[in-house]
């Protein structure tokens, strides 16, 4: 998480990973590139840091990992499980609540 503030970013990589993988299965490198694209480079993950996040979600049952041969190389593709979709819904709800709260606070602070 090079350019971002790690304590403030807690839970964000997990949310982004689940959101992107809920659309289609991907491997780590592909996923990091997608994070960059969908956040317009606003969120820059330290690329290797994605793997502990993926493995943690897999251990929690939110993701499955499958090895697939692609162009003579074996890639580990991750996909969201039904449990992962539930987790994504919960995290999205929490994020909306927090974000609405921060927006409201910033709006009020602007009017003070």
| Among 55, 81, 85, 95, contact with another protein (rule: CB under 8 A) | 55
Using the rule CB under 8 A, is 7 a contact of another protein?
Answer: no
Using the rule CB under 8 A, is 43 a contact of another protein?
Answer: no
- Gap between the terminal Cα atoms of the chain: 34
Q: Which stretch binds another protein (CB under 8 A): 16-24, 71-79, 84-92, 103-111?
A: 71-79
What are the b/e assignments for 62-95, b being 16+ CB within 10 Å? bbeeeeeeeeeeeeebbebbeebeebbeebeeee
DSSP 42: S
Residue ranges that bind another protein, judged by CB under 8 A: 2, 27-29, 32, 46-49, 51-53, 55-56, 59, 73, 75-76
């Amino acid at each position: 998480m090079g350019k971002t503030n790690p304590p403030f970013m807690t839970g964000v990589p997990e949310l982004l990973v689940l959101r992107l993988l809920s659309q289609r299965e991907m491997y780590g490198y592909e996923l990091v590139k997608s994070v960059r694209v969908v956040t317009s480079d606003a969120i820059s993950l330290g690329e290797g840091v994605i793997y502990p996040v993926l493995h943690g979600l897999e251990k929690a049952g939110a993701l499955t990992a499958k090895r697939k041969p692609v162009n003579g190389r074996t890639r580990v593709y991750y996909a969201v499980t039904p449990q992962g979709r539930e987790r994504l819904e919960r995290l999205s709800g929490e994020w909306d609540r927090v974000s609405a709260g921060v927006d409201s606070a910033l709006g009020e602070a602007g009017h003070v």
